[in-house]
Structure 1
Amino acid sequence: MNLTETDLELVEALREDGRASFESLAGRVGLSRKAVRSRVLRLFEDGVLRVVATVRPEFDGIHANAHLSVSVTGARRDDVARMLADQDETVFVSIVSGGAGVVAEIRTTDLHRLGNVVDRLRGVEGVTRIETLVYTDVVMEPHLPPPRDAVGTDPAVDHLDRTLVDLLRADGRTSYADLAAHVGLSAAATRARVRNLLDMGVIRIVTLVNPTKLGRSFMTGFALDLEETAQDVLHQIKEIGAVDFLALTLGTADAVGTIVTTSVEDTIAVLDRIGTMDGVVGLRSWTHLRLVQERYGIVGG
């Protein structure tokens, strides 16, 4: 879709506050509430963005995450990508350029289950090879709540909290009145529970933007080979504004990440900056051509 400057301003406003009211959005862009509501709903319907609650992985018993590079032969990339997206454990699937036709991220309970998932995906028609990078430390992840050690002990939640979490996972903009109707509490009590879930770091309301549909954004993945003493370089990479994700890994690379830029020139500049840092001995990259699935916060199998 062709986005106007007003659409882009609304996207930015929702990135700052996914639950911003239509009234406040209207005031920001200088349109009526009705016009803004129509524009925002169109952005949702066209897959440009979604507002959801993402959930701390430990809340769901998720302790194993991995990045998969999937080679495709004798089948359409789109068909393979959609088959991968249908798996319970996949939270991210994208069609990419480069040696692998599709990349995916999977989240599940433990390494044993992770191995079983990869074995199952090898059986998907058209998949000829899967390169697996297991995350050992997520250095930068903008979508999820803070790690457990940053928020203290595990919070106490009951079945009403879990119902609220599931509803907000599906739609992070669900009104407090609608949430209250589902759990049988007042809107004020429901608001207090949601606020508590946010404060405890169980959930985070985020706006997931599909860069491949913005028309002005370029999404690029990269994998790094690092020197043994190159831990400081990760902090340097994390401080680059275009870096959207970064994790240490085990496998054929020592780290994997994602950058989002507004031009090909910026993409090249960021990759060159990372590739020439002290401690980086190898860099390979791929371009995201179409984002097929992004459902961070959904329970993995």
Structure 2
Amino acid sequence: MRGISDDVDDLLVRALQEDGRASFETLARLVGLARSTTKARVQRLIEDGGLRLVGAIHPAVFGLNQLGHVIIETEGAAGPVAERVAALDETSFVTTTAGRFAVTAELRAADLGSFSRGLAQVQAVPGVRAVQAITYLRIWKDPYFPPGPLESPGPLTDIELDGSDHTLLAQLREDGRASFTELAKATGLSPGATRARVLRLIESGIVHVGALVRLSPSTRTHTVGFAVHVTGETEPVARRIVEFGNIDCFATGVGWCNGIGSIRAGSPDEVLATLERLRELPGMRTVESWTHLRAVKEENDRALAVADPAPSSA
């Protein structure tokens, strides 16, 4: 598997993470290549590089309103622990790592009580030595999550989903770049009506179409997690952090740290430079980091494992 092989591939992936339905003309202008060459690059990344263009559905659609992250120290091998943690319904993303933390995971639950019970299940996994958690209050940046703060009751406040909406979400979850004609066939709506529905779902934050890149040791991209501890208010520091181009995701909350995120970079030198910039930010107390080695459970798996919710009665 060739994976992301050069800076042009990396630029394409980053652009598709922001907008997985971006036209090939737009992508071609971004990278300075012909449309046909750009299309071939994207197709090669999909076929050979483990790239998927999927619709990441807001967890609130599935009744999952409490999100957070846990870091796990293990006694013995990390692999079996990661597999058992990944088998839990509450986990949406599980990786093995290099560093003090052998395993990291994201949890998604209906409410704080359910989140607490999910955390207890993680703590009870054989081989787990210690667990530390942060409960998210705000998602600042995430290529697989509709951007914006975590609010209750979330993006469903001003929109009610019907059967056609759920069909569109299911189709986008499988293929984020499906054409409006293809989506119309699945719903029985006209292409025009389908287009309007898809744009409404995207603009409301219910779904975000982006590039899902399989985390693997064979890729040239280095993925490094980090946690920050600040001296005062978290928000000013968070705003500076998400301005960094190679910050892949970042969330703030309450728990063992003030914020947690990841860096995607093409070289160890770029990772180091980013960590140094983080450490130098005004208000930063400490930065702790670890290297993600392998994804045991993907970011989008939690949504895929949940049956489609019943359509609204409206």
TM-score range, shorter chain: 0.7 to 0.9
- Count of residue correspondences: 296
Unaligned 5+ segments in structure 1 are none
Equivalence for 1:196: 200
Q: Does 1:42 align with 2:47?
A: yes
1:141-188 CA-to-partner distances (Å, cap 9, x unmatched) read 343224477979421221221121122123323344443343333444
Matched residue of 1:88: which SS? coil
Partners of 2:61 and 2:223 in 1: CA distance: 29
- Bigger drift between 154-163 and 13-22 goes to 13-22
Query: Cα gap change, 1:213/1:21 in structure 2, threshold over 3 Å: closer, same or farther?
Result: farther
Partners of 2:175 and 2:195 in 1: CA distance: 15
Equivalence for 2:310: none
> Matches of residues 1-301 of structure 1 in structure 2 within 5 Å?
1-3=1-3, 4=5, 11=13, 14-15=16-17, 17-19=19-21, 28=34, 30=36, 39-43=44-48, 48-75=50-77, 77-147=78-148, 153-210=157-214, 212=216, 215-229=219-233, 231-296=235-300, 298-299=302-303
TM-score (norm 1): 0.82
The answer on whether the counterparts of 1:224 and 1:281 sit within 8 Å (CA) in structure 2 is yes
CA positional deviation for 1:16: 5.9
CA positional deviation for 1:55: 2.0
1:12-37 CA-to-partner distances (Å, cap 9, x unmatched) read 6644653467899898464598x668
1:66-114 CA-to-partner distances (Å, cap 9, x unmatched) read 1111122234x23332332233222211110112211011111111000
Query: Cα gap change, 1:179/1:88 in structure 2, threshold over 3 Å: closer, same or farther?
Result: farther
Unaligned 5+ segments in structure 2 are 307-314
Partners of 1:103 and 1:241 in 2: CA distance: 23
TM-score (norm 2): 0.79
Partners of 2:253 and 2:86 in 1: CA distance: 22
**One-letter identity of the residue aligned with 2:224:** T
The answer on whether the counterparts of 2:68 and 2:134 sit within 8 Å (CA) in structure 1 is yes
**One-letter identity of the residue aligned with 2:86:** A
Query: Cα gap change, 1:126/1:296 in structure 2, threshold over 3 Å: closer, same or farther?
Result: same
User: What value does the CA root-mean-square deviation take over the aligned residues?
Assistant: 3.3
The answer on whether the counterparts of 2:156 and 2:206 sit within 8 Å (CA) in structure 1 is no
Partners of 1:238 and 1:23 in 2: CA distance: 27
Query: Cα gap change, 1:175/1:140 in structure 2, threshold over 3 Å: closer, same or farther?
Result: closer
The answer on whether the counterparts of 2:167 and 2:187 sit within 8 Å (CA) in structure 1 is yes
Query: Cα gap change, 1:23/1:146 in structure 2, threshold over 3 Å: closer, same or farther?
Result: closer
Partners of 1:138 and 1:238 in 2: CA distance: 11
**One-letter identity of the residue aligned with 1:202:** I
Partners of 1:32 and 1:238 in 2: CA distance: 27
- Bigger drift between 57-66 and 219-228 goes to 57-66
